[in-house]
């Protein structure tokens, strides 16, 4: 019993690895080198970005996690955010649902969740099916196809990929009422779990899953670490998946200039095609996550004046 309790405590600290996707391990241990980011004119590759070596089998990984965000395309916007994973045979689940006015939380009412990779070598294509109870409200997700071809990290010890739906047949159902939706998925596999306690490392993380008014999907993960250490170094990742109609036209890996965070708004400055650009986000509604202390974490719904919407996490242990 004590062993299980201790492991659960370690999981709370170890889950912050969900943010740790942009840095590299030492190259001598890296059998699957990190990919070279595509340029703005590079199409989605039909072969792996990293190299021609197959991705390691998933069943020998100690850590498997999923972040799923679903947002309805109709007004009022409804949002579902799922954190799901298995760490050394212990599973966890947290669900957050915004009904257009209020956030609801569930950590024990996951009826089903399936993220199935299609039978292909590089496993870019996935399907998602989920059913969650928030008090008396039943929320289900049906995703016939989602491509996780945004390469965040591709190494022998650690894999992380992301992407968003393009299918018009993607739905969130609220009490059997089907609502067309956009869905984003981040999936992560790690071979080892060491339970690193980051609370004493002076960590600051900005993390985001977001769609702009044109349906383009963004993922941000920028982490600064004040205390040097070998297990959890600083890292950053910012990219956008672009679409033309329902077709993916490319992935842009965007250099960050700065992030100006306040409780009311966040401004992300970045470079694209030699031009400086700014993404201005308004924090419109806060929800309280279960993984981290409320004094260290701010989770909010984010919007833009032009119709963009997503979720944003600010994690600060300083």
Indicate if the alpha-carbon torsion angle 198, 224, 311, 39 is positive or negative: negative
- Average pLDDT rounded to a whole number, residues 72-100: 88
For the stretch 25-44, pLDDT in tens is 222 223 223 333 333 333 33
For the stretch 214-254, pLDDT in tens is 888 999 999 999 998 877 888 899 999 877 766 677 789 99
Is the distance from CB of 253 to CB of 38 less than 8 angstroms? yes
Q: Which pLDDT score, from 0 to 100, does residue 63 have?
A: 85
Q: Which pLDDT score, from 0 to 100, does residue 287 have?
A: 85
pLDDT exceeding 70 applies to what percent of the chain? 75
- Average pLDDT rounded to a whole number, residues 92-117: 84
CA distance 318 to 315: 9
Choice among 18-22, 170-174, 199-203 with the minimum mean pLDDT: 18-22
Is the distance from CB of 139 to CB of 172 less than 8 angstroms? yes
For the stretch 248-273, pLDDT in tens is 777 899 999 999 999 999 999 999 98
Is the distance from CB of 198 to CB of 16 less than 8 angstroms? yes
Q: Which two tokens mark 247? A: 């077709």
């Amino acid at each position: 019993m004590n062993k299980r309790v201790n492991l659960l405590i370690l999981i709370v600290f170890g889950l912050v690895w969900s943010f740790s996707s942009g840095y590299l391990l030492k190259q001598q241990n890296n059998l699957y080198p990190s990919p070279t980011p595509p340029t703005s004119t590079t199409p989605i590759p039909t072969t792996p970005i990293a190299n021609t070596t197959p991705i390691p089998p998933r069943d020998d990984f100690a850590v498997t996690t999923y972040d799923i965000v679903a947002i309805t395309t109709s007004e009022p916007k409804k949002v579902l955010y799922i954190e799901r994973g298995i760490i050394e045979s212990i599973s966890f689940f947290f669900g957050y649902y915004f009904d257009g006015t209020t956030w609801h939380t569930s950590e024990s009412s996951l009826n089903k969740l399936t993220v199935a990779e299609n039978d292909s070598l590089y496993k870019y294509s996935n399907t998602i099916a989920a059913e969650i109870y928030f008090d008396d409200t039943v929320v289900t997700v049906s995703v016939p196809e989602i491509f996780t071809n945004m390469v965040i990290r591709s190494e022998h010890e650690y894999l992380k990929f992301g992407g968003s739906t393009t299918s018009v047949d993607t739905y969130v159902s609220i009490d059997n009422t089907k609502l067309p939706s956009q869905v984003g998925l981040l999936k992560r596999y790690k071979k080892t779990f060491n339970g690193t306690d980051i609370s004493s490392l002076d960590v600051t993380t900005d993390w985001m899953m977001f769609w702009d008014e044109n349906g383009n999907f963004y993922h941000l993960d920028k982490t600064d670490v004040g205390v040097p250490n070998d297990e959890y170094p600083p890292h950053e990742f910012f990219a956008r998946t672009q679409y033309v109609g329902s077709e993916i036209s490319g992935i842009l890996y965007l250099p960050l200039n700065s992030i100006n965070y306040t409780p009311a708004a966040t401004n992300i400055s970045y470079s694209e095609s030699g031009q400086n650009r700014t993404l201005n986000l308004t924090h419109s509604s806060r929800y309280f996550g279960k993984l981290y202390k409320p004094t260290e974490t701010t989770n909010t719904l984010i919007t833009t004046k032009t119709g963009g919407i997503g979720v944003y996490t600010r994690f600060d242990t300083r």
